[in-house]
Amino acid sequence: MQYLGGKQRTAAKLAAFIRPYVAERGAYVEPFVGGASMMAAQPAPSRIGGDANEALVTMYRALADGWEPPQHITEGEYADAKRRRDPYDPLTAFIGFGCSFAGKWFGGYAGNGENRNYAANAASSLRKKAHGLKGVRWHAGDYRTCPLIPHAVIYCDPPYAGTTQYAAVGAFNWGEFWSWCLAKHAEGFAVFVSEYTAPPSFRVAFEVATSTGIRTKAGRELRIERLFVPADADYGR
């Protein structure tokens, strides 16, 4: 499961690096919750998870409340969900991401192949996260409108520059995003950003090699996942 699996391979390492700062501050906010691997792996007394895709937030709310994702989705069910795109139905995000090729938002029906059942894989991934999402307060909307807990750790996993954009919510303005991060840092939040590169006003706090879904002659393409913090931050050292 590409998208709903999100950072499953690297979440444990990233979460472990951030966890001491979360423990110190007692609060964690994730405005780009995406696949929710980081949120599920990052316990805190007070947590807020947000995403611009309302259907995704609906699904996570339902999952935390006991909703069971299905094991099979037919092509007809996929077409119906794509047509309706009901943001208040947890199946919309489950089908739109978990049952689409490469986890792209309604990017084409990926059904029950000879060696892979996309719906079953997606359901398994979500069930593993369900317990870790209990108690999260959810927000559906732009990162700039996400509620914040005073002095919390803010972890951001925005659409990466130079990669295929998040078709579910439209274009993304990186300049505004980096300025927002610096503003939150100045207000006393501990801001961590996952990206491959960042402006000079940020520094690398942590990095880990990860493979992408892109296959080359040498195997899967390797990239360095980096956690950036503002250059003058006294955290992330």
Query: Could you give the domains of the chain?
Result: 2-230 (3.40.50.150)
Give yes or no for a contact between 227 and 14, defined as CB atoms under 8 angstroms apart: yes
| Strand residues in 109-218 grouped as ranges (E) | 137-140, 153-156, 190-195, 202-216
Q: The tokens 């090729």 sit on which residue?
A: 101
The whole-number average pLDDT for the span 34-61 is: 96
Q: The tokens 């995406």 sit on which residue?
A: 34
Residue 40 has pLDDT above 60, yes or no: yes
Q: Which two tokens stand for residue 191?
A: 């801001």
Instruction: Give strand pairing partners of 225.
Output: 208
Residue 215 has pLDDT above 60, yes or no: no
Each residue's pLDDT tens digit, 219-237: 556 788 999 999 999 999 8
Alpha-carbon torsion (105, 111, 115, 119), positive or negative: positive
Q: What pLDDT band is residue 10 in, cutting at 50, 70 and 90?
A: confident
Q: Indicate the pTM of the whole model.
A: 0.89
Mean pLDDT of the chain: 90
